[in-house]
Structure 1
Amino acid sequence: MDLQAKLADTEHRLAEMSDAYLRAKAEVENIRRRAEEDVAKARKFAVEGFADAMLPVMDSMEAAIGRPDATVEQVLEGVHATRRQLAAALERNKVLEINPTAGTKFDPHQHQAISVVPADQEANTVVTVLQKGYSIYDRVLRPALVTVAAPK
């Protein structure tokens, strides 16, 4: 094979490799663009499931407002039913209560101590819960507000 033929063969292989490189580069760019679009859609519609779970709660509240002649007992019954709907919607979306009982060991990752009070129980345990906390997928959204037993 003479030098001219080798040069032509090398130029042909270079053109093929250059074409393959450009195709691979374009494919990577398309994948990146599609991934960016998917992430944008995921961010945009991330709360869609949660919003869908909240609609029955909204319907119940609007139904209650639409009944100005309701008795106190009916209103209270409706509030309890609406609260159950809300709790179920939160639970379906993995929003769970943090509601420690008295005597539970104080956990600074889930509880926020408002005060330390003298109590007839072990030190650094929850005495009272002032406000429930909530977590989502093991991540604390809001810690439970508690009072804690003082060391003796």
Structure 2
Amino acid sequence: MSNSTNKNEQPENKGEQAEIPVSGEQQAPSPDLKAEEQCANPAEQQDTETGRDESAEVSEPENGEVLANQEMEMMSPDQVLVELTKTRAEASKLKDGYLRAKADVENIQRRSQNEITSARKYAVEGFARELLSVADSLDQAVKVEIDDSASEAVEKMQEGLALTLKQLESVFDRFDISSVEADQGIPFNPEYHQAISMIDSKDVKSGEIVSVMQKGFVLKDRLLRPAMVVIAN
């Protein structure tokens, strides 16, 4: 009984076949599948959009050049000459501005360099001015005449002052500090001499130095103090 039953059931199973989709009919992709594809290829989508933007940007200058060429073709020779003259004038103006700016920069650099050089060259000017009074005092002390009756201590003191003055003069020489030439008979020079009085003199000519009341000094080529002199009428 069981065998006959199975034989009868087999044709029924063969008759019931699964439905096969027709090849011409394709199923539409689900929304979830589209979202997955977009998430899987974001770089490709961005590259595509970037390529479109770049192509648009490249095409813009080309279109502008085409328009410019068309405008030039539409101009008459006189109009082209006018535009060329304007362009040359603008170029000349820009060139002049550039040359002026360049000259200003060079002048500023040269002025700054001169100021730096001057600052280094005359760095001891203020200090040298303060030492001039010391040199004056030592010079006057050395010129004092000592009597024969003076003690040995006074003579040694004067010798010490003379030695100190000599050392100070050597320091002046080391820093290019020199005295102004103002000997008797030298013509008066207002750049280096200052006249404090005028007297009649038979020994020197008019306008020449008779005597020096105070020495003058110069630092390199800069006057620190003029020499105080008496000149002849």
Q: Give the TM-score band, short-chain normalised.
A: 0.5 to 0.7
Whether 1:117 and 2:170 are equivalent positions in the alignment is no
What's the CA shift for 1:140?
1.2
Letter in 2 for 1:109: E
Distance 2:59 2:171 in 1: 72
Q: Provide TM-score, normalisation by structure 1.
A: 0.54
Matching residue's letter, 2:190: P
Which residues of 2 match residues 1-150 of structure 1 at below 5 A? Answer: 2-4=55-57, 46-47=123-124, 71-120=153-202, 121-150=204-233
Structure 1 partner of 2:135: none
SS of 1:108's partner is coil
Cα root mean square deviation, aligned: 3.0
Q: Write the distance in 2 (CA, Å) between the matches of 1:79 and 1:6.
A: 94
Shift of 1:149: 0.7
Shift in alpha-carbon separation, 1:3–1:89, aligned structure 2, 3 A:
farther
- Partner deviation per Cα, 1:82-113 (whole Å, 9 max, x = no partner): 10110010111111101411110000000000
Q: Secondary structure at the match of 2:169?
A: helix
Secondary structure, aligned partner of 1:119: coil
SS at match of 2:191: coil
CA 1:4–1:72 in 2, change beyond 3 Å: closer, same or farther? same
With over 3 angstroms needed to count, the CA separation of the structure-2 counterparts of 1:6 and 1:74, relative to structure 1, is: farther
Aligned residues: 97
8 Å contact 1:111–1:144 — kept in the other structure?
yes
The percent of aligned pairs where both chains have the same amino acid is: 36
Equivalent AA in structure 1 for residue 225 of structure 2: R
Deviation of the 1:6 alpha carbon? 8.6
Secondary structure class of the residue paired with 2:158: helix
Q: 1:102 to 1:6 in 2, by over 3 A?
A: farther
Give 1 or 2: higher strand fraction. Answer: 1
- What is the CA–CA distance in structure 1 between the aligned matches of 2:222 and 2:214, rounded to whole Å? 17
Q: Which amino acid aligns with 2:55?
A: D
**Whole-angstrom CA distance in 1 between matches of 2:160 and 2:59:** 88
Separation in 2, partners of 1:6, 1:80: 94
**For 2:178, what is the secondary structure of its paired residue?**
strand
Greater fraction helix: 2
Consecutive unaligned residues of structure 1, counting only runs of 5 or more, are: 8-34, 55-69
> How far apart, in 2, do the equivalents of 1:119 and 1:3 lie?
101
How far apart are residue 73 of structure 1 and its match?
2.1
Q: Tell whether the 8 Å contact from 1:99 to 1:129 is kept in structure 2 after alignment.
A: no
Q: Highest CA radius of gyration, 1 or 2?
A: 2
Say if 1:3 and 1:88 are closer, same or farther in 2 by CA, change over 3 A. farther
Instruction: Name the SS for the 1:81 alignment partner.
Output: helix
